[in-house]
Chains A and B, each alone.
Chain A
Amino acid sequence: MPQDAQAVIRVRGLVTRFGAQTVHDGLDLVVREHEIFGIVGGSGTGKSVLLRTILGLRQPDGGTVEIFGRDMQSLSRSGRETLVRSYGVTFQNGALISSLTVAQNIQLPLRENFALSEHTLDLLTGLNLALVGLPPDAAAKFPAQLSGGMVKRAALARALSLEPRLLFLDEPTSGLDPISAAAFDQLLLYLHTQLQLTVVMVTHDLDTLFRTCNRVGVLVDGRMVSDTLEGILSNPHPWIHEYFHGARARGAELETHG
């Protein structure tokens, strides 16, 4: 693929159906290296389903999904496991394992994939906590003892523990107060530049979108309209216009560009 050599994710002609209802109808998407790509769309347009399909948790009803140039569905079991280890994911509610401490959650993928000493595991746990800005005493806490913002950070720490080049975030700032959300945006930008990450995030938070994303993909009519932020803002599609120029959008826009 000479014309798009740095494409990290390439989705072609994706079709998703639930019974008679077609959610994605020939959806195309390209995410390039080192960009923060935001996915937005109305409720029920299949944002989370798209994310799950890209992650290989759901088989597409049509079309192909490639990550780092490899198609999840055509890979062997071991090839698939290697591919899965090359990206990190945070789920909307954190999805930390509730019976394990934060430290054990972070160590879980490390223990599964490498034979490391306890000392090394503790060292790496400390690193990941420090990267996401959690205090060391959060390590011994259980997920239920954490605040919403800390859960999001702990989930990010777990997603980073295998040092992925690609990060998927599902609603990373939902349920956070504006200050915590802004801090999360800062953290994300910081990690993005320092660790050379490619980030794909599903979000409804326009502030986050304006502050962090290089490009935005909007799910409308079963397809994806992707463009730079400026391009999307001037898109004439009525839903996109309403989304980015509605009452709630104006404030976020003013704050960032005004």
Chain B
Amino acid sequence: MTAPLDLDGERRSWRLRLHGDWSLAAMAQIEDSLAGLPELHGALSCDWSGAESPGIGPTWALLARLAAIGAADLNVTHVGGPPRHLELLRKLAPPGEMSPIDGRDAPQGIEGIADRLGHWSIAQGRAARAATGFFGRVVAVCGEALTRLRALRVPSLVRHLYETGVTAIPIVALIAFLISVIVAYLGAQQLARFGADIFVVDLVTISVLREMGVLLTAIIVAGRSGSAFAAEIGVMQLNDEIDALRAMGMNPIELLVLPRILALVIAMPLLTILADAMGLAGGGLLAALQLDIPWTEFFNRLHEALSPTTFWSGMIKAPVFAVLIGMVGTYRGMQVRESARELGRLTTVAVVQSIFLVILADALFAVLYVKIDF
């Protein structure tokens, strides 16, 4: 393929001939050839007669390059049937260098580190204050709902109860059952070495009731409902629906946030009871099939293994976890601004953060229970 342009002439009289494809498709070659033009003085005659289907972009690039190389003094004339859009382009602001589109120049070295650390700290401080503010507002609205029943938004509450609770039943039941079977199976292999097979019952009951039932439920709910809360509220935020509610004098916290959190607070303990029951059933089934411990013996042993507090020590955690998941999900949803990418990012943050907070809270409960001997 021939070069799209060639230059001849001498000293102060130049002739630039364009030929071949000058459409946008040939932009890369045109740009390369233009870059090869030297700095010129005097008069230049630009001959378009050989250029096929000249495009707007290439014409613009040519004008920009001619302006750059002829900055000192170059008198350009266009001959040979220049394209109609040439006049338009010449009238636009003279094509100069575009200012760099991104990348603010940030300070480097120690100064840069301090700069970033400072910005980060301020951002974290602001985020903490905003989160605390959100928590406060939710608590305030919750207090209001206790005295004014309409603020409770029962229809919305029921809908969320169905979506976060009822529809979660199959997956919670299945996972609790399977995990408990796995724990019983692995535990039995170890305990059989000491001839202590029967302690599988203790292992399953205590681990399921104290920890695993509620923790598994919380993680499943965080994955299902935490993400759904963030995404639903986030899309409403993107559509200005939240602003619309505010402008109509309605409180989005009361309308959107509180029903979701309350629904979780109600659904989580119920799901935990289900997970506990399925976990015990799984353990019992494995004991009967694998260890020849009949149902009756399993339940006798279960009664001995349980202390009165075992069930409640797990159950108390459920509403706490529910509040954490609900708060994080709705808060992240409310934070969505501007773009679809923000929505995806904050939905992910909602799930990761709520699972992290649930596990952190679980650790604190464990320490607390040991201290008070619960």
B98 touches A162 (CB 8 A): no
Bound-state CA distance A195–B85 (Å) is 6
Complexed CA–CA distance, A120 and B57 (Å): 9
Partner of A130, one of B55, B93, B102: B93
B88 touches A (CB below 8 Å)? yes
B277 to chain A, nearest CB (A): 45
Min Cβ gap B148→A in Å is: 36
A116 partner, pick from B27, B55, B341, beta carbons under 8 A: B27
Interface string of B86-118 (1 = CB under 8 A from A): 011100110101110110000000000000000
Flag whether B28 is at the interface (Cβ < 8 A). Answer: yes
Bound complex: CA A142 to CA B342 (Å): 12
* Residues 76 to 101 of chain A near chain B (Cβ within 8 Å): 98-99, 101
Is B147 close to A, CB under 8 A? no
| Residues in A whose Cβ lies below 8 Å from that of B341 | 98-99
Q: Which A113-141 residues have C-beta < 8 A from chain B?
A: 114-117, 119-120, 122-127, 130-131, 136-137, 139-140
Q: In the complex the two chains form, is B31's CB within 8 Å of A120's CB?
A: yes
28 residue pairs from A and B, CB less than 8 Å apart: A98-B341, A99-B340, A99-B341, A103-B101, A104-B101, A115-B28, A116-B27, A116-B28, A116-B31, A119-B31, A123-B61, A124-B60, A124-B61, A127-B60, A127-B89, A130-B95, A136-B98, A136-B99, A137-B99, A139-B98, A142-B339, A143-B339, A144-B337, A145-B338, A163-B24, A190-B88, A194-B84, A194-B87
Residue B64 at the A interface, CB < 8 A? yes
Which of B24, B93, B340 meets A114, CB within 8 Å? Answer: B24
Bound-state CA distance A190–B89 (Å) is 12
A98 near B340: Cβ-Cβ < 8 Å: yes
Enumerate chain A residues within 8 angstroms of B24, measured Cβ to Cβ: 114, 162-163
Q: Does B25 contact A (CB under 8 A)?
A: yes
Q: Which 3 A-B pairs have the closest CB atoms?
A: A99-B341, A144-B338, A98-B339
A121 to B23, CA, bound (A): 15
Residues of A within 8 A of B31 (CB): 116-117, 119-120
* A contact residues around B61 at 8 Å (CB): 120, 123-124
Find residues 201-226 in chain B having any chain A CB closer than 8 Å to their own CB. Answer: none
Enumerate chain B residues within 8 angstroms of A163, measured Cβ to Cβ. 23-24, 55-57
- CB B91 to nearest CB in A, in angstroms, measures 9
A257, B27: Cα distance in complex, Å: 44
A22 at the interface (CB under 8 A from B): no
| A123 in contact with B64 (CB, 8 Å) | yes
B124 to chain A, nearest CB (A): 23
Nearest B-chain residue to A114, judged by Cβ: B27
Task: Name B's A-contacting residues (CB within 8 A).
Answer: 23-25, 27-28, 31, 55-57, 60-61, 64, 84-85, 87-89, 92-93, 95, 97-99, 101-102, 337-342
- Closest A-chain residue to B101, C-beta based? A103
Contacts A130-B93, A139-B99, A196-B84 supplied; 15 other A-B pairs, CB < 8 Å = A98-B340, A99-B342, A101-B101, A116-B27, A116-B28, A122-B98, A123-B98, A125-B98, A127-B60, A127-B92, A131-B92, A137-B99, A144-B338, A190-B88, A194-B84
A-side contacts of B56, CB under 8 Å: 127, 131, 163, 195
Q: How far is the CA of A124 from the CA of B98 in the complex (A)?
A: 10
Q: A123 touches which one: B95, B338, B342 (CB < 8 A)?
A: B95
Closest to A99 in B: B341
Known A-B contacts A123-B60, A194-B84; the reply to A117 vs B92 at CB < 8 A is no
Q: In the complex, how many angstroms separate the beta carbon of B114 from the nearest chain A beta carbon?
A: 26
In the complex, what's the smallest C-beta–C-beta distance from B97 to chain A, in angstroms?
Answer: 8
CA distance A140 to B339 in the complex (A): 15
Residue of A nearest to B25 (CB): A114
Q: A142-B339, A162-B24 are in contact. Are A101 and B102 (CB under 8 A)?
A: yes
Pick the residue among B88, B95, B99, B338 that contacts A195 (CB under 8 A).
B88
Q: A139 contacts B64, CB within 8 Å?
A: no
- How far is it, in angstroms, between the C-alpha of A162 and the C-alpha of B177 when the chains are bound? 58
- Would you give the shortest CB distance from A33 to chain B, in whole angstroms? 14
Q: In whole angstroms, how far apart are the Cα atoms of A38 and B350 in the complex?
A: 47
- When each residue 169-204 of chain A gets 1 if its CB lies under 8 Å from chain B and 0 otherwise, what string results? 000000000000000000000100011100000000
What residue in chain A is nearest B88 (Cβ atoms)? A194
Residues of A within 8 Å of B84, CB to CB, are 194, 196
Q: Is the CB of B95 within 8 A of A127?
A: yes
* Partner pick for B101 among A122, A145, A194, CB 8 A cutoff: A122
Most chain B beta-carbon contacts within 10 A, residue among A116, A124, A137, A162: A124
Complex Cα spacing A114 to B85, Å: 22
**Contact in complex: B28, A126 (CB < 8 Å):** no
A-chain residues with CB within 8 Å of residue B101 when the two chains form the complex? 101, 103-104, 122, 125, 139-140
Query: In the assembled complex, which residues on chain A have CB atoms less than 8 Å from the CB atom of B57?
Result: 123-124, 127, 163
Q: Which residues of B contact A142 (CB under 8 A)?
A: 338-339
Report how far A143 CA is from B238 CA in the complex, Å.
Answer: 12
Q: Name B57's closest neighbour in chain A (CB-CB).
A: A124
Whether the Cβ atoms of A144 and B95 lie closer than 8 Å is: no
* Contact partners of B60 in chain A: CB under 8 A: 123-124, 127
Please, how many angstroms separate the alpha-carbon atoms of A124 and B340 in the complex?
A: 26
**Given the complex of chains A and B, what is the CA–CA distance between A126 and B99 in angstroms?**
9
Q: For the complex formed, measure the closest distance between the CB of B317 and the CB atoms of chain A, giving whole angstroms.
A: 38
Give Cα distance in the complex from A234 to B338, angstroms.
47
Contacts of A98 in B (CB 8 A): 338-341
A131 to B85, CA, bound (A): 11
